[in-house]
Amino acid sequence: MSLAFSLERQVALSAVARACRLTSSVFNKLVKNETVTKDDKSPVTVGDYSAQAVVNTILSRAFPDDPIVGEEDASDLKSGTSETAQTLRKRITELANEALTADLAYGDVADWGLGPGQERTTEELLNAIDRGNHAGGPTGRMWTLDPIDGTKGFLRGEQYAVCLALIVNSRVELGVMGCPNLPHDLSKPDGPRGSIFVAVRGQGAEQRTLTLGDPKPLQLPHLPISELSFLESVEAAHSSHSFNDRVSSTLGITKPPTRMDSQAKYCALARGDGGAYLRMPTGVGYKEKIWDHASGSLLVTEAGGMITDGRGAPLDFGLGRTLGENFGIVAAGAEVHPLIIAAIKQVNEQKV
Ligand SMILES: Nc1ncnc2c1ncn2[C@@H]1O[C@H](COP(=O)(O)O)[C@@H](OP(=O)(O)O)[C@H]1O
Ligand SMILES: [Mg+2]
Ligand SMILES: [Mg+2]
Ligand SMILES: [Mg+2]
């Protein structure tokens, strides 16, 4: 008898590994005009688009009936007539095809449309990006993809993650995250780096190399308050640094926070770095996106930790493309999590 979701896990690992190779190589070659600004003023690069094209192409071949909730869409790319749009389309086609046609590697199956000779046209690749336009919702199977989470970190040469999760009836069942720049040891930022993380509900969490070898099970250690440090966003606009400071003082945490872009924070947490991830809103109105938290939330719970919103409510992945009214995110070891929720309440009460 095979384990639940074993095929999905193999396909997701293979897709994320290929996307990571693509994003790592594109970083060194990025030139002007390969990063554009979206309507919400956030950046997107040829790396984000090509990685979404690669992952969606593989998913669509392996699971043709599964909808995909992906961050990026190709409408501007398809309609653009400027020289920039034409250059972008050409680059995305080159990069995605380079990744899809690379030799079969560990775990790959040629039937997924991979390997030499499997080039796609620009139109096919742009349509693959748009397979990510699904609206989400409470029932059925769906994938959610963030082809580059932490695009700002990616552009700085710092942390980012390729994040893919399978949601079934609102529950995350499988999560894979590729973190090409994450140091194996956070205290040695110039040492070896790059890992892929995977979790399946009920089957635990593990860390592998970027070529999917050397699986290591992950278990969140119990860290006393004296050893805790908050993992938080680098971007002050994404989560309130000052609120975290106040929660930290309330709990008697003395270590400074560890700032890191993307869901790499969940990966660091799951392997015992930091001990807690706190993301409280900077204002009202922003709704967290499901692709920013789906894979990370399962990794943390499968490593023995807990995750809720800032009020202690479970994250709801069945509301569409966003987490709806969930307010902030708290992920931590099971012993520490309730203490953080209590400290947040205390800080909020002090405010009024
Ligand atoms: N005002 C806001 N509040 C919270 N998150 C935001 C935000 N604006 C953008 N984001 C999200 O923050 C993500 C990065 O998170 P982090 O700060 O942990 O690196 C972005 O993902 P992308 O980089 O995939 O667009 C984006 O979805
Ligand atoms: Mg983005
Ligand atoms: Mg993101
Ligand atoms: Mg992204």
Query: Do the domain assignments include residue 1?
Result: no
What is the residue with the minimal CA distance to atom 23 of ligand 1? Answer: 150
| HEC readout, the chain | CCCCCHHHHHHHHHHHHHHHHHHHHHHCCCCCCCEEECCCCCEEEHHHHHHHHHHHHHHHHHCCCCCEEECCCCHHHHHCCCHHHHHHHHHHHHHHHHHHHCCCCCCCCHHHCCCCCCCCCHHHHHHHHHCCECCCCCCCEEEEEEEEECHHHHHHCCCCEEEEEEEECCEEEEEEEEEEEEECCCCCCCCCEEEEEEEECCCEEEEECCCCCCCEECCCCCCCHHHCEEEECCCCCCCCHHHHHHHHHHHCCCCCCEECCCCHHHHHHHCCCCEEEEECCCCCCCCCEHHHCHHHHHHHHHCCEEEECCCCCCCCCCCCCECCCCCCEEEEECCCHHHHHHHHHHHHHHHC
Residues in the chain: 352
- The CA–CA distances, whole Å, from 300 to 22, 148, 276 equal 26, 20, 10
Residue 124, domain CATH: 3.30.540.10
- Identify the residues whose C-beta falls under 6 Å from ligand 1: 42, 71, 146, 149-151, 153, 233, 235, 237-238, 261-262, 286, 289, 292
Q: What is the pLDDT of residue 284?
A: 83
Query: Do the domain assignments include residue 15?
Result: yes
175 shares its domain with 242: no
CA 153 to ligand 1: nearest atom: 19
Q: How many domains does the chain have?
A: 2
Distance 261 CA to ligand 2 centre (A): 12
Residues, Cβ < 5 Å to ion ligand 3: 146, 149, 292
Single out the residue in 199, 217, 235 at which a domain terminates. Answer: 217
63 shares its domain with 188: yes
139 shares its domain with 260: no
114 shares its domain with 44: yes
Catalytic residue ranges = 48, 151
Q: What is the pLDDT of residue 31?
A: 75
- Quick check: pTM over 0.95? yes
Query: Do the domain assignments include residue 333?
Result: yes
196 shares its domain with 341: no
Distance 117 CA to ligand 4 centre (A): 29
Q: Nearest ligand, CA of residue 55?
A: 4
Structural domain of 327: 225-351
Q: What is the pLDDT of residue 352?
A: 59
107 shares its domain with 10: yes
230 shares its domain with 319: yes
Single out the residue in 156, 191, 217 at which a domain terminates. Answer: 217
186 shares its domain with 322: no
42 shares its domain with 115: yes
242 shares its domain with 307: yes
Q: What is the pLDDT of residue 84?
A: 87
Q: Is 71 annotated as a binding residue?
A: yes
Query: Do the domain assignments include residue 316?
Result: yes
Q: What is the pLDDT of residue 80?
A: 86
Phi-psi region of 163 (alpha: psi -120 to 50; beta: other; left: phi over 0): beta
Interacting residues of 304 by C-beta distance below 8 A, sequence separation 6+? 219, 220, 333, 334
Answer yes or no: are the C-beta atoms of 176 and 16 closer than 8 Å.
yes
Cβ atoms within 10 A of the Cβ of 160, count?
A: 32
Q: What is the pLDDT of residue 1?
A: 65
ipTM of the complex model:
0.99
Residue 312, domain CATH: 3.40.190.80
Single out the residue in 189, 217, 245 at which a domain terminates. Answer: 217
CA 265 to ligand 1: nearest atom: 18
Stretches in the chain below the pLDDT threshold 70: 1, 351-352
Distance 201 CA to ligand 2 centre (A): 27
208 shares its domain with 298: no
Query: Do the domain assignments include residue 144?
Result: yes
211 shares its domain with 310: no
